[in-house]
């Protein structure tokens, strides 16, 4: 009789093992998997936001550098007696130090747009922004730095705190881009 009970126990254990997992065990495993996947998806989301923010910063830095390079060209041409480019750009030459920022045109019809816009230097407006509004504004300041002018170009997202985005303006895709102001500093040699 004892052998039959022990045999029954062994058979019953083997049958339970073959039967598989219970519904509760499957649900617990599924919940653990969901928690782990949520963490992984959050990392991907953060990486995507960082990527968009880096793209915004790169674009704004490139545009700021273009402004400085155009100011160099304008100054060089002005010093050679060809001031028409400065007039077209809406820039007063020779440069003078000022703490008040000079805002570049933002839309068609603003002074200097023909120079800075798509038909000129292509800094403001391009095929990616067909309505003419960029997701940022450009301005520069000139400071006297001895033998050179220190030019600080600021690129400010249109939806940044303190800015008013016009109707129809493009904005950068991530919320963090609103605070990604870029200040780019370059030097221009003073010409006699």
* pLDDT digits (tens), the chain, 192 positions: 456 777 777 777 666 666 667 888 889 999 999 999 998 888 888 888 777 778 778 888 888 999 999 888 888 888 888 888 888 888 888 888 888 898 888 777 777 877 887 777 777 765 555 555 667 788 899 999 889 999 999 988 876 656 666 555 556 656 555 567 889 999 988 875
Strand (E) positions, the chain?
98-103, 136-145, 148-157, 182-189
Length of the chain: 192
Instruction: Round to whole Å and give the CA distance between 74 and 78.
Output: 6
H or E segment to which residue 38 belongs: helix 23-79
Q: How many CB atoms lie within 10 A of CB 88?
A: 16
Spatial strand order in the sheet of 182-189: 98-103, 136-145, 148-157, 182-189
Any idea which residue has 């440069």 for tokens?
95
Residue 75, SS3?
helix
């Amino acid at each position: 009789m004892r052998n039959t009970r022990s045999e029954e126990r062994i058979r019953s254990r083997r049958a339970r093992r073959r039967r598989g997992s219970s519904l509760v065990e499957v649900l617990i495993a599924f919940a653990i998997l969901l928690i782990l996947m949520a963490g992984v998806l959050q990392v991907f989301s953060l990486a995507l936001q960082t990527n968009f923010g880096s793209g915004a910063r790169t674009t704004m830095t490139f545009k700021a550098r273009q402004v400085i390079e155009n100011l160099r060209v304008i100054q060089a041409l002005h010093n050679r007696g060809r001031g028409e480019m400065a007039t077209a750009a809406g820039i007063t030459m020779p440069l003078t130090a000022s703490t008040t920022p000079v805002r570049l045109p933002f839309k068609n019809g603003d002074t200097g747009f023909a120079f800075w816009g798509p038909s000129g230097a292509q800094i403001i407006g391009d095929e990616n922004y067909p309505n003419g509004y960029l997701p940022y504004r450009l301005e520069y300041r000139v400071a006297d730095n001895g033998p050179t002018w220190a030019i600080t170009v600021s690129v400010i997202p249109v939806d940044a705190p303190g800015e008013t985005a016009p109707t129809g303006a493009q904005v950068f895709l991530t919320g963090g881009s609103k605070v990604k102001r870029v200040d780019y500093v370059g030097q221009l040699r003073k010409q006699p």
